[in-house]
Amino acid sequence: MTKYVFVTGGVVSGLGKGITASSVALLLKSRGYKVFMQKFDPYINVDPGTMSPIQHGEVFVTYDGCETDLDLGHYERFIDEELNYTSNITSGKIYSSVIEKERKGDYLGATVQMVPHITNEIKNKVYEAGITSKADVVITEIGGTVGDIESQSMIEALRQIQYEKGSENTFFIHCTLIPYIYGSNELKTKPTQNSVRDLRNMGIRPDALVCRVPFSTPDNLKEKLSMFCSVPVGNVIDSVDVKNIYDIPINYYKQHIDEIILKQFNLPIKKADLKYWEDLIETVNNLKKEIEISLVGKYVELHDAYISVVEALKHAGYKHNLKVNVNWVDSEELEKIDNLDEVFKNSSGILVPGGFGQRGIEGKIKACKYARENNIPYLGICLGMQIAVIEFARNVCKMEDVSSREFDETCKNPIIDLMAEQKHVINMGGTLRLGNYECTLVKNTLAHKLYKSDKILERHRHRYEFNNKYKKQLEDKGLVFSGYNEPSDLVEIIENPNHPFFIACQFHPEFKSRPTRPHPLFDNFIGASKKYKK
Ligand code: GLN
């Protein structure tokens, strides 16, 4: 029977609940249990696909094409399991499904209500994850903080699960903040007491507290928290600030959080295999040299908008024993700057990531041209591939009025065009080309050499594609089309062999990078950047 761990948050948001949930999952997996993860987001959007990355951060994409919260990226990177559409549930999804059922007549005779109809739907999503994943333990994180209006129905559903399944099958972790007051030099427990009281007012007693705290909580404070919050003192876990997030599972391991959970579940405490993770931390904390990579995007004011790209760069850095520093370049600002030497003077590589809309496009094209002309390693992702094609057509093939239909509907040469399947799409949400598609790699190309494979599967999120009408013109000037999707003939990878390292892809390789297993494109991009630096 599946067991359920729930992770809630109190006091403030942004405490690292996602990392806590991921760390607990990693520890349980390291003890031989099959784990699965889920995030519940209380907002009304069906998914974050149409939200601004500057507000919400990156949209992560699962292999089966679900656009999700960025926390799922942490989950996958920590537990190294592919998640799916059952892993990100929003209030929007819950409400739509209940309303659809009501229209079909599934509730004939009933007044459809928050309890039990909405809460049943939420509970079903938790149970469905357990059934379809066949996991021993499902770890579900609830977004926001306890007390938010939006998440009340979710918390109520969890209360019912706690009651239905009993405490030997459910475990509640509540993440809170212990603030430090400068001057009186004290750590304060009151906000935690209050947030636990909020949770208990809704019928849930947490089994453990994870307290974000600047340094280890003294024993007397833990005892106080234990007494006020009715949590055993051993279940009050410190989450001290760390240099890198990969330290966190080990911090929790030392405080036995996984053993506490397994004991409550009456499950055997098998030996933990954490050697690979300890080796990773050893590497991360002892990186010998540094390297700077310029990331040219238009959402740079919120670094979370590119979190998987940055993590993928770091992972590749670990392999090459390099600490990767990102030079954040605002593409719109770049349009006004003439001295690019100054902007890129310390950078050993230029990366143009994904993006939407016309703003900042010319700045990205400028950065791409600079990389091509100065032999600086270039990695283009999704929009970064489309940009590379436009740049090549304009400046190498000397074609005029070249653009993407996304930015210029009426350009003479729409070298990037709307995909045929998109022409009749009306809704904006959930209608991009999403998730895994196969890509065939052309022999004797850089892509084939890097992947060491004839066929690959990568995750996508786009509406526009390379316009094959222009292929010959670009090939004649030396551009190589090294990957394509066979059934649709859609271009997936381009490269420039007259350059030390210039490659760009229509898909998002960053989603498949893991800290202990960097993605081949990132791995070799950093490798080439290291060479460039020498
Ligand atoms: N805006 C482009 C498209 O829709 C690129 C998308 C992306 O970079 N994710 O095709």
| Dihedral (Cα; 497, 529, 351, 291), 10-degree rounding | 180
The confidence score (pLDDT) of residue 218 equals: 87
Residues annotated as part of the active site: 382, 508, 510
> Atom of ligand 1 at shortest distance to CA of 406?
1
Ligand 1, atom 1, residue with closest C-alpha: 356
The confidence score (pLDDT) of residue 526 equals: 98
Distances (CA, A) of 67 to 43, 58, 87, 405, 433: 14, 10, 10, 24, 11
Q: Which residue has the tokens 């475990």?
A: 171
d(CA 231, CA 228): 8
Please give the average per-residue pLDDT across 196-220, as a whole number. 93
Residues written for the chain: 534
d(CA 368, CA 363): 9
**521 Cα distance to chain centroid:** 18
Q: At residue 148, does pLDDT exceed 80?
A: yes
212 lines ligand 1 (CB under 6 A): no
Average pLDDT, the chain: 96
- Residues 152/189, Cβ–Cβ less than 8 Å: no
What amino acid is encoded at 131 in this protein? I
d(CA 131, CA 110): 28
506 Cα to the center of ligand 1, angstroms: 8
Q: At residue 464, does pLDDT exceed 80?
A: yes
Domains and CATH numbers, the chain: 3-280 (3.40.50.300), 288-533 (3.40.50.880)
For the stretch 387-403, pLDDT in tens is 999 999 999 999 999 99
- Residues 121/156, Cβ–Cβ less than 8 Å: no
User: Of 61, 65, 524, which is closest to residue 312 (Cα–Cα)?
Assistant: 524
> Atom of ligand 1 at shortest distance to CA of 465?
10
- Which pLDDT band holds residue 421 (cuts at 50, 70, 90)? confident
What is the SS3 assignment for 366-408?
Answer: HHHHHHHHCCCCEEEECHHHHHHHHHHHHHCCCCCCEEECCCC
356 lines ligand 1 (CB under 6 A): yes
For the stretch 422-459, pLDDT in tens is 888 888 888 999 999 999 999 999 999 999 999 999 99
d(CA 178, CA 187): 6
Q: At residue 14, does pLDDT exceed 90?
A: no
As given in the structure block, the two tokens for residue 340 are 């690019």
Please give the average per-residue pLDDT across 84-110, as a whole number. 96
The confidence score (pLDDT) of residue 149 equals: 92
- Residues 246/16, Cβ–Cβ less than 8 Å: no
User: Of 525, 477, 469, 521, which is closest to residue 498 (Cα–Cα)?
Assistant: 477
Q: At residue 534, does pLDDT exceed 80?
A: no
Please give the average per-residue pLDDT across 276-305, as a whole number. 95
The confidence score (pLDDT) of residue 359 equals: 93
For the stretch 155-176, pLDDT in tens is 999 999 999 999 999 999 999 9
Q: Indicate the pTM of the whole model.
A: 0.95
The residue to mutate among 383, 389, 407, 507, having the most atoms of ligand 1 within 8 angstroms of its beta carbon, is: 383
Ligand 1, atom 7, residue with closest C-alpha: 354
d(CA 211, CA 222): 10
Express as a percent the part of the chain with pLDDT over 90. 93
Please give the average per-residue pLDDT across 138-145, as a whole number. 96
Please give the average per-residue pLDDT across 7-27, as a whole number. 94
Ligand 1, atom 5, residue with closest C-alpha: 383
The confidence score (pLDDT) of residue 517 equals: 96
311 lines ligand 1 (CB under 6 A): no
Can you list the positions of beta strands (E) in 442-516? 455-462, 464-466, 480-485, 490-495, 502-505
Please give the average per-residue pLDDT across 34-41, as a whole number. 97
Give the containing element (helix H, strand E) for 323: strand 322-330
Ligand 1, atom 9, residue with closest C-alpha: 354
